[in-house]
Amino acid sequence: MSPVRLVAAGIRVFGRGGSHVARHTGGLGLLAWGSLASLAKGQVAWRDILAQLYSVGVQSIPLVMVTAILSGIVTSQQGGYQFTSQIPLYVLGSVVTESVILELGPVLTAVVLIGRVGARITAEIGTMQVSEQIDALYSLGRDPVPVLAAPRIVAGTLAMPALVGLANAVGVVAGIVAAQLSVGLGPDSFLYGARLFWNSYDLFYSLMKALAFGFVIPLIAVHMGLLTRGGAEGVGRATTASVVFMIIAVLVSDAMFPPLFLN
């Protein structure tokens, strides 16, 4: 391939990528703005928000608890395995507590929400799109933003901090139990270590992450659902793309938290 063609191909790829990013950024921005505006105007039915809160929040509790218990146990066991030589074992309390609260609780709960709720939202709205139900809403003089998008985004934003709070508590308790069973570190020593390096701001930091993830996940899920085209295959493609998009968005925003809020 000649250098000119190579440069042209590069520009084409860059241009296509740029237009893709611009289209999604614009779409997400408009959807977020529309949802907040419809909420402020009182166009969102509380009944819809409560139904979504049940689906997003209450029904996610079992899976969030299982994930949190396992993350607490694994962190405790692996930490204990590494600390058996020079470092005092009570430091494990701080390592487990901080790991769960700062990172594992919010991120693993977000991953659960992506798989359980985000994928479902995209598939549901994508199916509505390809079966003309979204067109039907418009034809009946209804806007899909207050009817479909806003209740899901509000529910995600409200439910996520509660779920992360639960995951944090359950994860730490599981860590205490695992530390006792695996390395013989008693609860008092564990809590002593945890208190030694404890900073109340960490809990606030964890809940800020939860709010951000709880907003971003349904926002992307609804956006990708509304972009769905092309029948059942299109719904499958959109759902996969949506899950990838949500995971990348969560991990990128997670990586931005320490430089922005932990200095």
**Which residues form the interface with other proteins (CB under 8 A)?**
127-128, 131-133, 135-136, 138-142
- Smallest separation, CB 95 to other proteins (Å): 46
- C-beta separation of 164 from 111 below 8 A: no
Distance (Å, whole) CA 94 – CA 92: 5
Q: Which is nearer to other proteins, 160 or 222 (CB)?
A: 222
Least separation in angstroms between residue 135's CB and other proteins is 5
| Spatial separation of the C-alpha atoms in residues 169 and 187, rounded to whole Å | 14
Spell out the alpha helix ranges (H) of 184-230.
Answer: 187-196, 201-226
The length of the chain is 263
Per DSSP, the residues of 134-175 read HHHHHHTT--HIIIIIHHHHHHHHHHHHHHHHHHHHHHHHHH
Q: Residue 55 Cβ, how far from other proteins at the closest point, in Å?
A: 11
- Comparing CB distances to other proteins, the nearer of 107 and 117 is 117
Residues in CB range of 40: below 8 A, 6 or more apart: none
Between the alpha carbon of residue 121 and those of residues 42, 128, 162, 263, the distances in Å are 23, 10, 20, 36
Which residue, 128 or 220, is less far from other proteins as judged by CB?
A: 128
Q: How far is the CB of 129 from other proteins (least distance, A)?
A: 11
Cβ proximity to other proteins: between 133 and 253 the closer is 133
Nearer to other proteins, 138 or 261 (CB): 138
CB of 130 to other proteins, least distance (A): 10
